[in-house]
Every structure is written in structure tokens, then in C-alpha cells.
Amino acid sequence: MCGFVGFADSKLEIDKVQVINDMMDTIIHRGPDSGNYFSDDRATLGFRRLSIIDLSDEGNQPMLNEDGSCVLVFNGEIYNYQELREDLIEKGHIFKCDSDSEVVVHAYEEYGVDLLQKVRGMFAFAIWDKNNESMFLARDFFGIKPLYYTQNTADNSLIFGSEIKSFLKQPAFKKELNKDAIKPYLTFQYSVLDETFFKGVYKLKPGHYMLYKKGNIEIKPYWDIDFDADDKGLDHYIEEINNTLKESVNYHKISDVKVGSFLSGGVDSSYITALLMPNKTFSVGFQDHEGIFNETNLAKDLSDILEIENYKELMTADQAFEMLPTIQYHMDEPQSNLSSVPLYFLSKLASEHVTVVLSGEGADEIFGGYAWYQKSGKLEKYEKIPYGIRRVISGISAALPQNKITNFLVKGGQPVEEKFIGQARIFEEEDARKVLKDEYQTGPSVQSITKKVYDKVKGKDDVTKMQYLDLKLWLPGDILLKADKMSMAHSIELRVPFLDKEVMSMASHIPSDLRVNDIDTKYALRAASEKVLPEEWAKREKVGFPVPMRHWLREEKYYNIVKEMFESDIAKEFFQTEELMKYLDDHYHGRHNYARNIYTVYVFLVWYKKFFIEL
């Protein structure tokens, strides 16, 4: 796990060595072990290393091929690198070290962009091809590793890297706020557009590669998810899930440094832990809140059963509010998923003992684990009414005052494409407009964002449509981004065995009624996990990573902290502050639970202050 930065075709009179070193210093948390750079007339690449595989200096980057014509900077892990290495040696390639990174540069020599069809792992990388005078950048299948790029520069040069904050050190970069990103963020809680909150800075999409040559950019997909269910019975899928996940975990534990695992009380991290059997597990919860806000006892109980040492810590509201500016700095863009906070502290705890951790991200999206995917009994009964009648009732109900009944009737007459936008829905779109100043009510509509994804799974069942949407938007935009940024903030590598292309290929054949049914979510996965887990862990209801924000915002201390920000000049630039105060006061006095709305706005303001006022 590492980080890289780079730029190409810079026309400004700058000290390239000083600039690339300044950019590298900005992401030193991603690679504290060593750093180096490459520079010629056209391209400059910098690299920070966190040593995981082949700890020798021979594994340092930038890494060159035999004749020095290809220069690589690589972030991630290629889990099948040993097999690929043997194949490349047979074809005549000469290796200097045992790292997986060197396999990538030789595979590019041999296969060009088709190397992406051969690798298995998580990655973002850039290869400067001197002979072709081109830059080849690629991002892994699911978007586990981040990769940003921009030509929003004074000289139309290209800048790219693992974190946007490094761009601020490049003199050609134009730091501008992308006004179109704010309104969608208030609904989705994360940066959902391809263009980030920094104008002209883009995320390379998961499963895509980019070719840059003489100022021109060409982006192409190389992989996609294809749900194609067959029906071979539950027992068949139980065996397949166990065998495929065992193989994936075996690949993901390859390391020359210590490996542990994150562990909550849920089935996903518990399943990975039981397959991995590490020496140490790590858990966090919140002080003064038992049960839903503190699963550390469950993690400790399972660790004891498996005879694994468990480390746990409890956090406070003071810690959360104090570290929020730092958390948002590491995130690069505003992101109000509350679980980023405990994940930051969990990563800090783990970093004191290990360098690599395995985690359970991705299981819900691949195997169907979210409550949204499961219809309630009431909805199933209601859907027996002909759709045309429900559609009319939905339209009428939408015009009435909103409450639980009218909301149910509205959604009961909507297709999934209209009612499901992903696992988070903070502000309704109209409410987002009401709290924003006119200048910031721009940006694409919610439906236009999701439609492009839904159009690719026309004809599929509703569960598959929702999973596909979450795999394409929620997973890379929220779940994986915070996993990468919070772990790398503490210089540890987080690996996600569920998000392996072979696991996805296997899971894509499981019928939707074995993914989600009226008995449970992740039905087949839970059944498979019983091979290695006690039944109570396999069947435990999903909790996630809950944070007691709604309780904190009803305490005077934290109410006043947020109030001060909501009444600040920064807030007045973007928001109708009187509307914000209505949310805050109604929540504080217990009239409504607006914790997520309040926190989403507060996070944006904290982020903006950090990046546009202080930096």
C-alpha cells in the first residue's frame, strides 16, 4: 500500500524536483517508509512507499523495466503476482526483486493494456511509456484504490495522483470549488459525481483505464459486473462461497509484515476473521452507549471463541468532534457517513500493532445485505394491488403532507428506479434546494445520476438493480473511499477479500431469492458462514458502524459547536442559515431526528474551511 503523484507536459518554469517532493510530502502518510521520483522532459512521477511485499530497497518505486523505457508508480496489491511472474519469466522477462509492482511493469511490456484482464487485486497505477510518449493509468475493478486526475491547470498540463490534496502543491493547479457537487452531496452524503468537489478534478472510474498522450485523454472500461443467475440449489452455493472466499482470504493474507483483522459483531468481518485466523483483531465502540453503539463485547466474545487476541477501545464525543477536521482533510472531499469517525480511530488502534488488516467491506453489495433490498411484509401485501392503481395512489399521496402513511403509499407505487438511490438518502432533493442559496442549487438531479446506472441493468429483478446501483455508486463513492483514506491516514493497508473479481463472478450466479428473501438478507452467505462461525454470529442482524450523533446533538456543548458553524460567514456563503437553524433547533428540542441532515451540512462546512480557508 502506497501513494503516488505525478504530472506531465508542464510548461511553467518550475523546479520539478522541488514540486514533486512537495507533492510527495503531502501524502507521506500513505508511504512513510521511503520516497523517490522520476523526471524527464515530459513526465514527472513521485512515489511514497509503505513496504508490504519484498521489504528490500529493490522494491522501491518509481520502478523501471529492463531498458528503462517504462516507468511505473503503483498503489495496491496484485494477489496473483507470483503466477504472473512465473509466466513472464518464461517469456524472457528479467526481474530484479520479488515485489508485485515489478510484475505490473513487465506485464505492461508483454500485454499492454490487456494486462488488466490478467491481474487479480486492488490497484491504481500510472505507467509512463517513453517510447510511445504516453501515460497509461488504471484503477481496479471495484474502486478499492483511489485515482484522481485533472487538466484544470494554468498550462493545460496533466496532474494525477492518489489524493487530491497533493495537487495543491503543483503551481499550475487551479483550486476552484465545483458548485455542482454540493446539491447532490446533500442527498447522497458523499461526492457522487465523476467530477469531484474541486472543479476540473475527476475520479477515474472503477474498472476503467486512461490513456494520455500529448494533451489528449482517452478513457475506456475494461471490466464490468454481470449478474447472470442460475439455479443450482443452496447447498451448491454454500460450498462455492466457502471455497471461493477461502481462496480469496489466502491471497489477501500474502504479506511480509504482520496481518490482523477488523472485527465488529456482524457476519461479514466475523466470517473473514474466522477464515483468516489472525493473531490480533481490532474493535471500537462509543463510551456511555451500550448495545447498538458498542459491539466491542461481541467482537471480544468471538475472538475468545477463536482464541485470537482482541484489542478494543471506546471513543467519546469530544474525540469525534476534535478529530473531524483531520478526518475530512484525509477524505479530500466532504463525506458525512458517520462510520468514517470510528473507522479513523479503529485504524489508529490497529496501526499500533500491525501494518495490514483485512475487513468485511463489499459483502452487503455483492451478496445482498442491506435492509433496503428486503421488502417488508406490508409492502408485499400492498404490491398485490395492480400496479396501475398503486401508481395513481402514489401520485396523489405525493401531493399530500408527508408522513409515514403517505410515504409508504408514494413508494408503493414507484418502480425501484424512482424510489431507491442507494444506501443513504439524507436531504430530499427539494429540501436540499430550500437550504441552499440560489447560486448553489445547480448540479444534476438525483434521478439523472442514478438513471445512467440503472439503464445498464434493464430487465433485471429489483434486488439485482439495487445491488448494481450500490456497487457502482455507494461502494466506491462512500464505503471504499473512507476505508482507504482512514486506513492510510495511519499508514496501514486495508484489504477487502469480498471484493475480489473471482468472488464477484461466483456471487453473480446466485439467484436473487438466495441473496435476499423473506427470511433474511445475505441468505446464502449467512448459511455458508455457519461452516466456520457460531450460528448467532452468522444470523445476527446487520448494524453497520453506528455513531450516537443524534444523542450528541441534543447535548448543549455539541449543539453550540454546530450552531457557531451554522451562523458563520462560511455558512452564509452557501446556505439559508435560518433554515439550517430550524433543523438544528428542532433536533435539539426533540421535535424531530435531523441528526444526519445537520451532520451532512456541518461536515461540508468543516471540509470547506479546511481546504479553502486554511490551506
Catalytic residues: 2
CA distances from residue 532 to 83, 275, 528 in whole angstroms, order as listed: 29, 7, 8
Cα–Cα dist 277/303, whole Å: 9
Between strands 63-64 and 493-495, the pairing is unpaired
Cα–Cα dist 30/1, whole Å: 7
Q: Whose grid coordinates read 508483454?
A: 110
Pull the grid cell for residue 40.
Answer: 524527464
DSSP assigned state of 474: I
Pull the grid cell for residue 24.
Answer: 510527495
Q: Which residues are bridge partners to 49 per DSSP?
A: 2, 34
Give the CA count within 13 Å in the CB-facing half-sphere of 572.
Answer: 4
Pull the grid cell for residue 120.
Answer: 487479480
Which amino acid belongs to residue 547? V
Do 140 and 153 meet the contact criterion of CB atoms below 8 Å apart? no
Cα–Cα dist 244/363, whole Å: 13
Q: Sheet of 63-64: strands edge to edge?
A: 63-64, 70-78, 121-129, 134-139, 208-213, 216-221
Do 136 and 149 meet the contact criterion of CB atoms below 8 Å apart? no
CA distances from residue 615 to 146, 419, 447 in whole angstroms, order as listed: 22, 39, 34
Cα–Cα dist 96/529, whole Å: 41
DSSP assigned state of 521: B
112 conformational bin, left if phi > 0, alpha if psi -120 to 50, beta if neither? left
SS3 content of the chain, % helix, strand, coil (to 5): 50, 15, 35
CA 593 distance to own-chain centroid: 27
Cα–Cα dist 91/89, whole Å: 5
Cα–Cα dist 540/573, whole Å: 45
Reference 140, options 195, 205, 72; nearest CA is: 205
DSSP assigned state of 499: S
Cα–Cα dist 116/189, whole Å: 31
DSSP assigned state of 91: T
Which stretches within 307-368 are classed as H helix?
317-331, 340-351, 363-367
Pull the grid cell for residue 397.
Answer: 399521496
Do 503 and 497 meet the contact criterion of CB atoms below 8 Å apart? yes
